[in-house]
Chain A
Amino acid sequence: MKLYYIGIFRNSTKPAVELCGAKELSSFSFFERKSVGEFLTFFGTTVAERTAPSQRQSVEENEYIAHTYARADGIAGVIVADKEYPIRVAYSLLNRLLDQFLAQFPRAQWSQGELKLQFPELESALMKYQNPRQADSIMRVQQELDETKIVLHKAIESVLQRGEELDSLVAKSSALSTTSKMFYKEAKKTNSCCIIA
């Protein structure tokens, strides 16, 4: 599961303008990278143009899927990933990134003109979310819960074993108790009975 591209576009104008983007092309050979990068940007632009405001879409193309979320105020985020990447994680990442972007750059900065804004969050998010299990909080919680469940199963097994051992202990101790009682009686008998010369 890989993420290839995250981009934020302004889609209130046609053609959509890429405000900032981050690519991860290490899986392609050196010569392919440029063309793949251009393709990703073009793909993102097209999909962002065609997404109506406050709508989410996932578009499939060869083996890439672009998840788009267009907000009502004119910006859209696009994530291009492979087919296995979980969709929910992609959308929640888009939500988060768009909120951060809006907090950092107020509307006035990007509503006009063609400009490239610096948003290093995109790069770091791209790196971090290559492994969605750890990065997405819901999945991480689910994973930790599963691990806890495994640990608990082992604990129950050990408790069962402990139960068996305790049962054998109880049998042994009761046998010992009977034996020692008989021992005591015998000792008493030799002591109290007829005095032998």
Chain B
Amino acid sequence: MAVSIQDRTQEFRSCVAALSKINSTSASASRNQLLLSPSSPPMPSQSGANGVIHGPGEGATKGQRTEFARRAVAISKDINMAMGKLQRLGQLAKRKTLFDDRPVEIAELTFVIKQDLAKINQSISELQSFVKSGKKHWARKGESQVDEHSENVVVLLQGKLTDVTAGFREVLEVRTKNIQASKSRTEQFISSASASAKDTSGFKTKSPLYAHSSSQQQSSLENPYGISHGDPENPYGAQNAEAGEYLTLPDQQQSLMLLEEQQDMYISERNTAIEAIESTIHELGGIFAQLATMVAEQREVVQRIDADTEDIAVNISSAQRELLQYFARMSSNRWLMVRVFGILIIFFLLWVLVSP
């Protein structure tokens, strides 16, 4: 054993220096040092045979780790850029002006952010698989800390990605709220001019304002144009939003509104259908809860029945016991003989006492 120990530290160090010159740029050289240094102390303590095999293996694992570090840095850079774009989008979405809204830019930015998030997600999952595959090479105890470190880094990156995604979602919600608010304001401005025209036209119509407020109250379906598309099949859609579908109004403004309403119609109808599904699911949840309460109440009743039947069993068994004792007594002769002799003796005594 003592003979085979060789000190190959110098060989190893020269290997490392050569490889680090090949692999790294100046930015990652410091990182390489950091990653390399934990593993160099364990090296001299190994026996010679192991040292030979792990020499070239070390070079490969060092290369892998720097590769990991590079990828992790690239991913965090992407995440930071995405965060910056998200902030710009948030700024744009917060603007509440009616006319200066820039839908094209917002849409582009949304699209770009979405793509970036998907790409980051993919690269994180690639990194994770890379870490897992890299772990197979590292079979020594000294590397477990590096394993943990890489896993922690991956988890951290994933956490950052989820933060960015959550922020993105919030910004989208803010944006949709603002769109709705601005749309209601435009409707108010436009409909006040056209409401008078509509009244004079004599159609059986509703002004969008009225339709808007009544859709908020969720009134039952009314399709004033008499076109029963999908009414019997879709009883849940509050179809006031479709009120403008087949208008034949002469006014220019009204035809503009017609166009807008047609375009919104698809989206709003989809919205109502999905809301209908949501409310149905809600009802189903309520029904399940009711079912559960009823069964729970009945459980008490069942327990009472259980207790009662046990009482019955106990009573009957003890009554049977008593009857058996009685029967045994009746069928035994002992007491009988005692009683018979007792009566005989009483009579005998009486006879003795009576007859002097």
Is B316 a contact partner of A184 (Cβ separation < 8 A)? Answer: yes
Q: Scan residues 140-172 of chain A and give those whose CB is less than 8 A from a CB of chain B.
A: 141-142, 145-146, 148-149, 152-153, 155-156, 159-160, 162-163, 166-167, 169-170
Q: Give Cα A166 to B308, complex, Å.
A: 13
Q: How long is the Cα–Cα vector from A138 to B207 in the complex, in angstroms?
A: 30
CB closest chain-B residue, reference A153: B287
Tell me the smallest distance from the CB of B79 to a CB of chain A, in Å: 29
- Give the complex CA separation of A190 and B325 in angstroms: 10
| The stretch of A10-18, A80-88, A103-111 that contacts the partner chain | A80-88
Interface 1/0s, chain B 228-256, versus A by CB < 8 A?
11100110100000100110000000000
Question: Are A159 and B298 closer than 8 Å at their CB atoms?
Answer: yes
Distance to closest chain A CB from B74 (angstroms): 29
How far, in whole Å, are A91 and B263 apart by their CA atoms in the complex? 11
Q: Is the CB of B322 within 8 A of A184?
A: yes
Expressed in whole angstroms, the Cα–Cα distance for A58 and B247 within the complex equals: 12
Chain A: which residue is nearest B323 at the CB level? A187
Q: Is the CB of A162 within 8 A of B298?
A: yes
Sorting the interface of chain B by its residue count into under 10, 10 to 19, 20 to 34 or 35 or more gives: 35 or more
Which B residues are in CB contact (< 8 Å) with A146? 280
Complex: how many Å from CA A143 to CA B305? 41
Shortest beta-carbon distance, A138 to chain B, in Å? 5
In the assembled complex, the Cα of A142 lies from the Cα of B339 at a distance in Å of 89
Closest to A54 in B: B263
Question: A191 in the interface, Cβ–Cβ < 8 Å?
Answer: yes
The yes or no answer to A173 lying at the interface (CB within 8 A) is: yes
Render B249-273 as a binary contact track against A, CB cut-off 8 A, 1 for contact.
0000000000100110110011001
Question: What is the CA–CA distance of A188 and B276 in the complex, to the nearest angstrom?
Answer: 69
Query: Of the 9-residue stretches A32-40, A41-49, A115-123, A175-183, which lies at the interface with chain B?
Result: A175-183
By a CB distance below 8 angstroms, the chain B residues around A197 are 339
Bound-state CA distance A191–B329 (Å) is 9
* B residues less than 8 Å from A142 (CB atoms): 236, 273, 276-277, 280
Bound Cα distance from A60 to B325, whole angstroms: 98
Q: Does A50 contact B (CB under 8 A)?
A: no
With a cutoff of 8 Å between Cβ atoms, the chain A residues found around residue B265 in the complex are 56, 87
Cα–Cα, bound, A186→B266 (Å): 82
Give chain A residues whose Cβ lies under 8 Å from the Cβ of B305: 166, 169-170, 173
A180 closest partner in B (C-beta): B315
Q: Is the CB of B280 within 8 A of A55?
A: no
Q: Are B319 and A149 in contact (CB under 8 A)?
A: no
With A86-B230, A142-B273 given, name 17 new contacts (CB 8 A): A55-B259, A55-B263, A60-B246, A84-B233, A85-B229, A87-B229, A88-B230, A142-B277, A148-B284, A152-B284, A152-B288, A155-B291, A159-B294, A159-B298, A167-B301, A176-B308, A181-B315
Q: Ordered nearest first, which 4 A-B pairs have the shortest CB separation? A: A180-B315, A187-B322, A173-B308, A184-B319
